[in-house]
Amino acid sequence: MDLLKEIFANEVFPAMGCTEPISCAYTTAAAVEQLQGFPDSIELIVDPGTFKNGAAVTIPNSGGQKGNIIAAALGAVIGKSAFRLEILKTVDAEILQKAIALMDKGAVKYGCKEDEKNFHVEVTAKRDGSSVHCIVSEGHTNITCLEKDGKSILETHPHGAKEGGSYRDAMRRMKLEDVLREVIKLDDEKRVYIQRGIDMNMTIAEKGIDMKRTGYQIRRMMQDGLKSDDLFYQVKLRVACAVDARMGGMPEPVMTSGGSGNQGTLTIIAPYMVGRHQGIDIERIRESIAISHAVNSYVKCFTGELSVICGCAIAASLASAVALVYQKAGIDMGKINLAMDNVIGDLCGIICDGAKPGCSMKIMSGAETALRSAFMALSGYGLSSDDGVLGRSPEESILNIGKVSLQGMFAVDPTVVHIIQAKSSRSGRA
C-alpha cells in the first residue's frame, strides 16, 4: 500500500467551499444522476458535525445563502458527481434559480441523525415513483451505499467504497514514526501535487484580505502598531485570510487536509511560509508538507473525521508543528514528541461549534501555537507527561485526546446542534 497516495486520494484534494455542505451537494448529485430527470423530492440527513458545519457558512455562487439545504439543492440541479468537491464551480444564474425554486416548493427535507458519531451524509432522491438512496461516509466523497429502487448499484460508481481494510485501519496499527518515514518517500508526481496545494492555498490567502474580516482586522492592528510584522504575524494573517475567504463563500478552491479546507490552509501554509523564511530547501519543505498531511490524517484516525474538538486547533496544529520540527531536525521523535505535547498542553479541549466566519480566529490560535510549540521543541523544551492528558509517547497522547473527544465530550455535538436549531427557529431559517 502506498500510504501517502491513499491519504492524498481520500483526504487531500481541491474543494470549493466548506467541505461538509459541499459534500451534501456531491451526495445529492450522486443520487440525482441515477434518476431519469429532475427529482420531485430530496431528503437530506446528516450527522451532528455536518449539521453544525453547514449552518453558518456561505455557499459559493449561491448569492450569499448559507447552509446544507441550498448546497444540496444546487447539487440536485447540477446532478454530476464527477466534479467531486469542486461541484459548485459550475453554478450559474439558471442553476441557482432552479435550486431556489426546488427549496421554495418544499421539495428538500432536512434532518440531523443526532446519534451518529461519524461523518455521514445521506440522501434519498425520488422521481416518478423511482427512488435512489446514497450515503457518503468515511470520507467526504466516499460513497458507501448507492441503491436504486432497493437494488445496490454501488459498483457502478467510481467513488464507491472498496471492500477490505482501509488505509486508516493500517495507520491505527502503526507507530507515528513509521508513518513519517513512509510518507517522505516522494516521487515527482507527489511533489508536483504538493506544490499544487501550496499554490492553491497561498492564492486564496492573498485574495481573502478582500473579505475585510479577521485577517483584514489583524493587518490593521499591525498597521496601527499594535502587532509586529514578524513571521508569526505573516503566517497568522494568511491562514486567517484563507479561512475568511472559504467561510465567506469566495468561489476559489483550496487544497484540503484530512478532508477539511480550513485544516488544509494551516497544514500547508504554515510549513511553507516558515520554511521559506528560514531558507529551507524547497524539496525539504514539500517533504514537511507531506508529513503535515500524514500527521493530520493520523490524529483523525483516533479523534474521528468530524471531531467534537476543533480540528484546526488540534489536528492541524499538531501536523504543522511536526512539519516544522522535520524541516530543521528530520524525524527526531524526541523533539517531535515535545512539539506535540506543547500543542496539546496549550489547546486541548477547544470545541468545534461548527464551521463559520469565527473559524479564522481559531486557526490563528492554532498557527501561533504550532509555531511556538515547534520552536520550543527544537530548543529542547516541552511539557511533561505529568501534565494533564499528555502521555509518555505521541501515540499515547493522541489516544488520550481521542478519549477526551469521543468519550468525555460526547454530549457537546448534540448540545451545539440544539443551540443552532434554536437560533434558526427564532430567525425563521430552515
Q: What is the pLDDT of residues 392-414, one digit of tens each?
A: 999 999 999 999 988 888 788 88
pTM: 0.93
Q: What pLDDT is attached to residue 428? A: 56
238-260 mean pLDDT: 96
In degrees, to the nearest 5, what angle opens at C-alpha 169 toward C-alphas 168 and 170? 85
3-state secondary structure the chain: CCHHHHHHHHHCCEEECCHHHHHHHHHHHHHHCCCCCCCCEEEEEECHHHHHHHCCCECCCCCCCECHHHHHHHHHHHCCHHHHHHHHHHCCHHHHHHHHHHHHCCCEEEEECCCCCCCEEEEEEEECCEEEEEEEECCCCCEEEEEECCEECHHHCCCECCCCCCHHHHHHCCCHHHHHHHHCCCCHHHHHHHHHHHHHHHHHHHHHHHHCCHHHHHHHHHHCCCCCCCHHHHHHHHHHHHHHHHHCCCCCEEECECCEHHHHHHHHHHHHHHHHHCCCCHHHHHHHHHHHHHHHHHHHHHHCCCCCECCCCCHHHHHHHHHHHHHHHCCCHHHHHHHHHHHHHHHCCCECCCCCCCHHHHHHHHHHHHHHHHHHHHCCCCCCCCCCCCCCCHHHHHHHHHHHHHHHCCCHHHHHHHHHHHHHHHHCCC
189-205 mean pLDDT: 98
At residue 230, what is the residue type? D
Is the pLDDT assigned to residue 222 strictly greater than 60? yes
178-198 mean pLDDT: 97
Instruction: Specify the CATH number of the domain 17-165.
Output: 3.30.1330
Q: Which CATH code of 3.90.850.10, 1.10.4100.10, 3.20.20.210, 3.20.10.10 fits the domain covering 174-417? A: 1.10.4100.10
208-225 mean pLDDT: 96
Q: What pLDDT is attached to residue 163? A: 46
Closest by CA position to 204, among listed 231, 229, 239: 239
| Residue 341, strand partner residues | none
Residues above pLDDT 70, as percent of the chain: 98
Q: What is the pLDDT of residues 18-27, one digit of tens each?
A: 999 999 999 9
Domain boundaries, the chain: 17-165, 174-417
Cβ pair 297, 263 in contact under 8 A: no
Is the pLDDT assigned to residue 158 strictly greater than 90? no
In degrees, to the nearest 5, what angle opens at C-alpha 53 toward C-alphas 268 and 310? 55
Q: What pLDDT is attached to residue 374? A: 98
297-315 mean pLDDT: 89
In whole angstroms, what is the distance from residue 225 CA to residue 203 CA?
Answer: 27
Closest by CA position to 18, among listed 44, 49, 45, 42: 49
Give the CA distances from residue 152 to residues 127, 155, 160, in Å, rounded to whole numbers and listed in that order. Answer: 18, 8, 11
Q: What is the pLDDT of residues 106-130, one digit of tens each?
A: 999 999 998 888 899 999 999 999 9
Residue 384's Cα: distance from chain center in Å? 30
Is the pLDDT assigned to residue 430 strictly greater than 60? no
274-284 mean pLDDT: 98
Q: How do beta strands 120-127 and 41-46 pair?
A: antiparallel
Fold: same for 17-165 and 174-417? no
Is the pLDDT assigned to residue 164 strictly greater than 50? no
Q: What pLDDT is attached to residue 427? A: 60
Cβ pair 412, 306 in contact under 8 A: no
Cβ pair 256, 15 in contact under 8 A: yes
Q: What pLDDT is attached to residue 95? A: 97
Average pLDDT, the chain: 94
Among 25-34, 66-75, 240-249, 416-425, which stretch is predicted with the lowest mean pLDDT?
Answer: 416-425
253-274 mean pLDDT: 97
In whole angstroms, what is the distance from residue 419 CA to residue 430 CA?
Answer: 14
Is the pLDDT assigned to residue 162 strictly greater than 70? no
Q: What pLDDT is attached to residue 426? A: 65
At residue 392, what is the residue type? R
Residues above pLDDT 90, as percent of the chain: 83
